[in-house]
Structure formats: C-alpha cells, structure tokens
Amino acid sequence: MKRSLTVFALCLAGCASTSGDMSGPVVGVPFDPPDHFMVARSGIGKYDEPKADGVCRNPMVDARDKTELLLRRSAGGKGDYGVDPGAFGGGKYGMTTQQFLRIDCATGKAIGIVAQ
C-alpha cells in the first residue's frame, strides 16, 4: 500500500509539470535566443511553426542548433521551458539550472527568464 501511494504521488507530480504557478516575474532577458522557437515533430527531425490556438507544445526547438526545450508548466498561452542542463551546463540563453525560459506559445518568441 505504501508503495502504491508513492507511485501515485510521483504520477501526480509528473502530470503537474505542465501546469503550475506562473505568477513569478520575469527576472532576466535571454541571451541570443532565436527569432522564434519551432515545434518539434515527433521522431522525424522536422519542425512546425507555432500555432495561435492557446496550446503550448512540447518540445520547442531552436532550429539553429537543434536545442530542445521541454515544457515544465503552462498557463494563458505561455509556457515555461527548461533546457537540459547536462547538454549546456545550465548556461544556454543565459539561464542557470534554477531557471526556465518563458515562451509565448502562439508565436514561439522568448518572453524572458523566470525562476523555477
């Protein structure tokens, strides 16, 4: 029973990763982001333009160097995306490992750096 509750709690935590408190302020300006991020197509290495339908897609990609950003939370057509710290040591776009990049999901444009 205890193990079942632990597994259930972990599942809930994983589901909560795409919604959450996005009330924190933008704390920085990203360094050298693309004009806009693209939406990765599953498994085929091609990209689509973002859509203005209120949905934050996952993952978003910097088409210049294929950097993938993973959605951590979203609300109101904006998404907070994390970059794999192992790939870039947490320094991509001027972010630390304790920060996310907020993106306007309709346009793919970076809004700013926010705290986790």
Type of residue at 68: E
pLDDT at 3 over 60: no
Two tokens, residue 81: 């995306």
**What tens digit of pLDDT does each residue of 33-51 get?**
999 999 998 767 789 999 9
Q: Answer yes or no: are the C-beta atoms of 74 and 22 closer than 8 Å.
A: yes
Tell me if the pTM is above 0.85: no
Residue 47, number of CB atoms within 10 A of its CB:
17
